[in-house]
Amino acid sequence: MALLLIREDDLVRVEVDEERSLISTTWLGYVPSPDYRAILLQVLNEVMQRKLRLWISDSTRMGVILHSDEKWSVDTLTPMLVKGGMRRVAIVRSLDFFSQTAAERMADSTAGQVPYKVEFFPDVAKAQEWLSKELEVLA
């Protein structure tokens, strides 16, 4: 399994596993609004170009998500992910209560409006296990 490193800096690590149709983001702390949006647009670009269907977002160390970014994620990013063919999103819960609450609000606000499943997990291993099972379902 060859992982392709897309981005690695002090904010995030982004990897692609084309064999598993998977993009992974590992957030490394608080991400300022312009960077948050730029990173997610970069993720979207990879999803669309490579026709990726699965996304694991390790938000364990992610800091707070601003309300304006939460709204942007729901109103702007989500419809583009739908158009891009996203099928499953696994989110590893943030240790930051406010970040976790924002992520849950975003998932709740799009439930029933998107054709993909969003699930939350306590650790990366459980998230990957779920995505592996889901990949079998999609195949």
Which pLDDT tens digit goes with each residue over 74-116?
Answer: 999 999 999 999 999 999 999 999 999 999 999 999 988 888 8
Return the SS3 of 7. Answer: strand
Range of the domain at 87: 4-138
- The pLDDT of residue 27 is 98
- The pLDDT of residue 1 is 59
User: Between these two residues, 134 and 66, which has the higher pLDDT value?
Assistant: 66
Q: Where are the alpha helices (DSSP H) in 1-139?
A: 33-50, 67-72, 78-84, 97-110, 124-138
Give mean pLDDT, residues 121-128: 96
Query: How far apart (Å, rounded) are the C-alpha atoms in residues 44 and 95?
Result: 25
Give mean pLDDT, residues 12-37: 96
- The pLDDT of residue 113 is 83
Q: Are strands 22-27 and 12-17 parallel, antiparallel or unpaired?
A: antiparallel
Q: Hey, what amino acid is at 90?
A: A
Question: For the whole model, what pTM was predicted?
Answer: 0.93
- The pLDDT of residue 31 is 96
Tally the domains of the chain.
1
Residue that has been written with the tokens 């647009």 in this structure: 41
Give mean pLDDT, residues 17-41: 96
pLDDT 10s digits, 37-83:
999 999 999 999 999 999 999 999 999 999 999 999 999 999 999 99
- The CATH code of the domain that includes 77 is 3.30.750.24
> How far apart, in Å, are the Cα atoms of 122 and each of 2, 57, 104, 130?
26, 12, 13, 12
